Chain A
Amino acid sequence: MDVTGLSLTTITLFLPMVGLAILLFMNGETQKANLKWVAFATSIVTFVASVLMWINFDPSTADLQMVQRNTWAEVSLGESVINISYFVGVDGISMLLVLLTTFIMPISILGSFGSHIFEERGREKLYYIFLMLLEWSMIGVFVVHDLIIFYVFWEVTLVPMYFLIGIWGSEERIYAAVKFFLYTMAGSILMLIAILYVGNRSGTFSTYSAGGDIGVIERVQTWEGEGTYWDAADPEAEGEDAGFLLNSVESWLFLGFLVAFAIKVPIFPFHSWLPDAHVQAPTAGSVILAGVLLKMGTYGIVRFNLNLFPEATVAWAPTIAFLGVVGIIYGAWVSYAQDNVKKLVAYSSVSHLGFVVVGIFALNAQGLQGATLQMVNHGISTGGLFLIVGMLYERWHTKEMADYGGVWKVMPLFGAISLVISLSSMGLPGLNGFIGEFTILLGSLGSDYLGFVFTLLATLGVIMAAVYLLKMFQHVFMGELKRPLSSEDGYKLTWSEKAAFIPIIIMIFWMGIQPIVFFNMLDVSVDSIVALFVR
């Protein structure tokens, strides 16, 4: 494995920072009109770079690809020294999520082109700088394989999102921003303790082995052979006896990581920050939040919890999957009860990500593949739904469903697009949502760790999704037009709005009709994780 030299991953990761640097030096009124173009161009170039990565990507190996690893710092530890390294690379799961990130970014930037928020709040330059910072840190989360650097990227995503919600959000933005910041920080800072313990115990912060250095994952597997484990002091405490969940170190480490990720996903009952943040965030913020940020949580569970703590994963799987199922039903139920259209979409995220959680903790190939694909699907369709809500709000300045009605009559193209995206979110066969949900249900049914009750309850969620999304569609788009706009021009979609929808629609159909392309990417990478759980 080539581990030094500038890899394509590094280039993709740091392209947003180049855009940020250019934005920093753009001052004055004359440059103001160009800000959005610089941001947009940067995100497009980053997308192209990630597509280049995809072209170079070899789906037949589970090893990390396009790896770069440089020692960054040394931490002394008694007599030994632990390296912190800049260690980037992608496997199938990372690749797909990097593509999702770079795909969502230009769309969300396009979505804020004609936005009214700058007329009210100004500070356009700062806005695009934060978007670039956000893109950089999100890509970082998906490609970094050193626990400390991962934590750095993980925490840095908080800052730009906090400002995006806080400065350009709606009325209750300050409450929502502070809640978002404190809630997610409280979770992730416990992960720091767990990370420090992991590094201390295993003598490295790299998760994967590279360049002759053994990573944590390999170290864990050798321990298993030696009969010791995370709990070095008392190997007898390991194993699935009654005390394992609360008494073993591994179980606590698992929870330390899980709480951070569960808050981000969010897994029920850690979801209370999400409706506030989503509803108050500006459109681009909601799109990125739903599209990418939430996936950082599920990605973290797959990458770290499953790989580093396989025994604890097995022990906790039914419990967490149960919370996932509760999330599916609860999210759908609460979503149905909403009068606020943006809140409805926000709660639908809780429901959809419940599926992902169930898929992950099915701990078999179908479940994990479905879960990963569903992360992407949800990013695309819910990102699309938030775009729709944002465009409605730009025109009617209300989020109450009761104020809408008959939008399809005046905006036929917009109505058709919205129908497709809603159907995709519902999981209609032939569109992308179906593929993910179906595979997850298949996985949970065939799982050694979950029973068919999980499948049954999750299926209920599919039906409920149809109920609340059709309710939304009916209230907003059907019936008589309640509030005509003052001018006919308002009904027209601007070119940037149309342009934002085109890639979404393409992906919805492509992933629905030809999912094999994406499954192929994941196949081998997922198998290498699932191998830990084959009974």
Chain B
Amino acid sequence: MFESPTIAEFLAQSNLASTLPGTLLLAWTLLLVLIDLFAGEERAHWTPIAACIGLGISFVANVFVYSPAEGEQIALYGMFIADAFTGFLNMVILVATLIAVLMSWDYLNRADIHRGEYYILALISSAGAMFMVAANDLIIIFVALELLSIPLYILAAFRSIKNDGSELSLKSEESGMKYFILGAFSSAFLVFGAALVYGATGTTNIPQIFSIAGGIVGGTSAAAFYLLIGAALLVVGLGFKVAVVPFHMWTPDVYEGAPTPVTAFMSVTAKVGGFAALLRVLITGLSVLVLAEGGAAAWQSTTTIIAILTLVLGNFVAISQRNLKRMLAYSSIAHAGYIMVAVAAAGAADVADAATQSALVYMMAYMFTNLGAFAVVMAIEREDGSGGNIDDITGLAKTRPLMAMAMTIFMLSLTGIPLTAGFVGKFMIFSSAIQAGLFGLAVIGVLTSVVSAFYYVRVVVNMYLRDSEVDARPALETPYVRWAINISLAGTMIFGIFYPLATNLVSMVSIV
């Protein structure tokens, strides 16, 4: 009855080639363990270099696998899907990891915690995110989510490996612990949701859920009820990961306590992975979950409410923050809210593609801008990790004009001022919201961006319009951080000014 296939048959059927970007990165990471082990103290810098090379290899593989001519490919017996959506987000994740590695190089030396494991963990996490954006099955989503999260828990606590009892290492420890407990909690929600969906439909494969759920929805059977509860729990579980209100409580503490490059890294990759899974589950799997014939998906109202709460709370609470990292943490909650607007818009069937594309462009814009902003914050931090308050950047335009200019552009991009990538993202998101008929949501979205302008502009005010009373601090950062800032700046400007570049990259994306 069940014959085990030969290796050749297995390889042919599982279509491993299309999983190459992720698997290559994972394989390279294992190699990295050996390099780090045998390179020795004096060649410790080999590990980050090798990490960058690995990211490069994965990037090249990604370009080959996801050339538009290939179209959509299913791999690993339907559990893995390689389409334009995956390809685009893979690129976002890889660039984000590269920038984070460049930042870490500097940070670890400065904090005197230079360990090769750091890069290995970061790369594993990044590979987890790459599997997550390619997941076509609830089980893969769960496995990838754990692969993404567990290294992040360790990374968040990384500063405490030098256990000197300082406030910084304690905070880092607390951050890792908090993240771990709440992360495990959210995973439980996710698994329970997946179990209920499986109970209702008899499958964990997302496209199959779609076809089976079509027959259940609208009936009064228990299955319909379980499907609804399951879908809600999936939203809760992934909502934790992407930090949307009301599942955001862990974010500020974790972001503030974690080492700055880790904060930057997880504020992007965890969100990208989480939103990718959310989009796949909701659009590909559960868009049939409608309350009325021909109406919008049932989860649209839920996601709309989440989006509104996230936008309002994230932006208003960010105003009162004095610590830049904490401010960026709340602003990253707010940005999750903007992406949530796109998710809500995707609830209208004919807007699903446009909304998905807008979410993707927004994530890319957010990746460049947010990483850049964190890199600047890191560059101006003191050795002991202090100096990240809003008053510490006073007069930065005089002492470090280029750094201040870059920070200004990042702040304008986060606000959504034209000619930056942030505007392109916001424009596409609101455009899809309008197409979906969610006018109220769009208006709340733009009004909260005015609120966000208040605290972003305050950063610019301090850098340019106030003069520093204290003497200029010596530049601590190495060229690597400057490279991180330059890459982010280039991305923010290029995709902001050459708008078609962004739209062309996502024009093939369709996950309906």
Residue positions of A touching B, CB distance < 8 A? 72-79, 84, 148, 151-153, 155-156, 158-159, 162-163, 166-167, 173-174, 177-178, 181-182, 185-186, 189-190, 192-193, 196-197, 199-200
Q: Is the CB of B465 within 8 A of A167?
A: yes
Interface centre among B435, B450, B465 (most CB of A within 10 A): B465
Chain B 412-453: CB-based contact to A (< 8 A → 1; otherwise 0)? 100101110001000110110011000100110011011001
Q: Is the CB of A72 within 8 A of B507?
A: no
**What residues of A have a CB within 8 angstroms of the CB of B419 in the complex?**
152, 156
**What residues of A have a CB within 8 angstroms of the CB of B354 in the complex?**
75-78
Q: Given A73-B499, A163-B464, do A158 and B417 touch, yes or no (CB 8 Å)?
A: yes
Q: Given A189-B447, A196-B430, do A76 and B357 touch, yes or no (CB 8 Å)?
A: yes
Q: Is the CB of A181 within 8 A of B453?
A: yes
Q: Given A189-B449, A193-B434, A196-B431, do A178 and B461 touch, yes or no (CB 8 Å)?
A: yes
Q: Is the CB of B427 within 8 A of A148?
A: yes
Closest to A148 in B: B427
Q: Is the CB of A173 within 8 A of B417?
A: no
B457 sits at the interface (CB 8 A): yes
**What residues of A have a CB within 8 angstroms of the CB of B450 in the complex?**
182, 185-186, 189
- In Å, the complex CA distance between A181 and B430 comes to 21
A441 to chain B, nearest CB (A): 38
Q: Is the CB of B446 within 8 A of A72?
A: no
Contact of A193 among B442, B465, B500 (CB under 8 A): B442
Instruction: With A75-B431, A181-B457 given, name 4 new contacts (CB 8 A).
Output: A159-B417, A185-B450, A192-B446, A196-B430
**What residues of A have a CB within 8 angstroms of the CB of B503 in the complex?**
73-75
B381 sits at the interface (CB 8 A): no
B350 sits at the interface (CB 8 A): yes
- In Å, the complex CA distance between A121 and B346 comes to 50
Ordered by A's residue number, 30 sampled pairs between the chains whose C-beta atoms are within 8 Å are A74-B507, A75-B354, A75-B431, A75-B503, A76-B354, A77-B435, A78-B350, A78-B354, A79-B350, A152-B418, A152-B419, A155-B418, A163-B464, A173-B465, A174-B461, A177-B461, A178-B454, A178-B458, A178-B461, A181-B457, A182-B453, A182-B454, A182-B457, A185-B415, A185-B450, A186-B447, A190-B443, A192-B446, A200-B434, A200-B435
- In Å, the complex CA distance between A75 and B434 comes to 13
B400 sits at the interface (CB 8 A): no
B466 sits at the interface (CB 8 A): yes
A156 to chain B, nearest CB (A): 6
Q: How many residues of B are counted as interface, with CB atoms below 8 angstroms from the partner's CB atoms?
A: 36
A343 to chain B, nearest CB (A): 21
Q: Given A148-B427, A182-B457, do A174 and B466 touch, yes or no (CB 8 Å)?
A: yes
- In Å, the complex CA distance between A196 and B437 comes to 11
- In Å, the complex CA distance between A186 and B450 comes to 6
B353 sits at the interface (CB 8 A): yes
- In Å, the complex CA distance between A152 and B412 comes to 13
Chain B 392-415: CB-based contact to A (< 8 A → 1; otherwise 0)? 000000000000000000001001
Chain B 460-490: CB-based contact to A (< 8 A → 1; otherwise 0)? 0100111000000000000000000000000
**What residues of B have a CB within 8 angstroms of the CB of A193 in the complex?**
430, 434, 439, 442-443, 446
**What residues of B have a CB within 8 angstroms of the CB of A185 in the complex?**
415, 450, 453
Interface centre among B418, B439, B442, B454 (most CB of A within 10 A): B418
**What residues of B have a CB within 8 angstroms of the CB of A199 in the complex?**
431
Closest to B503 in A: A73
Closest to B430 in A: A196
**What residues of A have a CB within 8 angstroms of the CB of B443 in the complex?**
190, 193
A120 to chain B, nearest CB (A): 11
The 10 closest A-B pairs by CB, nearest first: A152-B418, A73-B500, A189-B446, A166-B465, A186-B450, A196-B434, A78-B350, A73-B499, A155-B418, A174-B465
**What residues of A have a CB within 8 angstroms of the CB of B350 in the complex?**
78-79
- In Å, the complex CA distance between A368 and B110 comes to 66
Closest to B418 in A: A152
**What residues of B have a CB within 8 angstroms of the CB of A189 in the complex?**
446-447, 449-450
B511 sits at the interface (CB 8 A): no
Q: Is the CB of A151 within 8 A of B453?
A: no
Interface centre among B350, B449, B466, B499 (most CB of A within 10 A): B499
**What residues of B have a CB within 8 angstroms of the CB of A181 in the complex?**
453, 457
Q: Is the CB of A177 within 8 A of B465?
A: yes
Q: Is the CB of A156 within 8 A of B465?
A: no
Contact of B461 among A79, A152, A153, A166 (CB under 8 A): A166
- In Å, the complex CA distance between A152 and B353 comes to 25
B184 sits at the interface (CB 8 A): no
Closest to B351 in A: A78
Q: Is the CB of B461 within 8 A of A78?
A: no
Q: Is the CB of B464 within 8 A of A166?
A: yes
A221 to chain B, nearest CB (A): 23
Q: Is the CB of B431 within 8 A of A178?
A: no
**What residues of A have a CB within 8 angstroms of the CB of B461 in the complex?**
166, 174, 177-178
- In Å, the complex CA distance between A234 and B292 comes to 22
Q: Is the CB of A200 within 8 A of B431?
A: yes
Closest to A174 in B: B465
B498 to chain A, nearest CB (A): 9
Q: Is the CB of B453 within 8 A of A78?
A: no
A403 to chain B, nearest CB (A): 27
**What residues of A have a CB within 8 angstroms of the CB of B428 in the complex?**
75
Closest to B348 in A: A78
Q: Is the CB of A155 within 8 A of B499?
A: no
- In Å, the complex CA distance between A178 and B456 comes to 11
Closest to B405 in A: A126
Closest to B419 in A: A156
Q: Given A78-B351, A166-B464, A174-B466, do A72 and B434 touch, yes or no (CB 8 Å)?
A: no
- In Å, the complex CA distance between A518 and B119 comes to 69
**What residues of A have a CB within 8 angstroms of the CB of B439 in the complex?**
193, 197
B495 to chain A, nearest CB (A): 12
**What residues of B have a CB within 8 angstroms of the CB of A163 in the complex?**
464
- In Å, the complex CA distance between A84 and B461 comes to 34
Closest to B461 in A: A174
**What residues of A have a CB within 8 angstroms of the CB of B431 in the complex?**
75, 77, 196, 199-200
A198 to chain B, nearest CB (A): 10
**What residues of B have a CB within 8 angstroms of the CB of A156 in the complex?**
417-419
**What residues of A have a CB within 8 angstroms of the CB of B449 in the complex?**
189
Closest to A252 in B: B439
B380 to chain A, nearest CB (A): 20
Closest to B446 in A: A189
**What residues of B have a CB within 8 angstroms of the CB of A77 in the complex?**
354, 431, 435
- In Å, the complex CA distance between A151 and B417 comes to 10
- In Å, the complex CA distance between A35 and B203 comes to 70
B353 to chain A, nearest CB (A): 7
Closest to B464 in A: A167
- In Å, the complex CA distance between A72 and B419 comes to 14
- In Å, the complex CA distance between A190 and B430 comes to 11
- In Å, the complex CA distance between A190 and B435 comes to 16
- In Å, the complex CA distance between A494 and B286 comes to 75
- In Å, the complex CA distance between A159 and B457 comes to 10
- In Å, the complex CA distance between A13 and B91 comes to 36
Closest to A123 in B: B397
B451 to chain A, nearest CB (A): 9
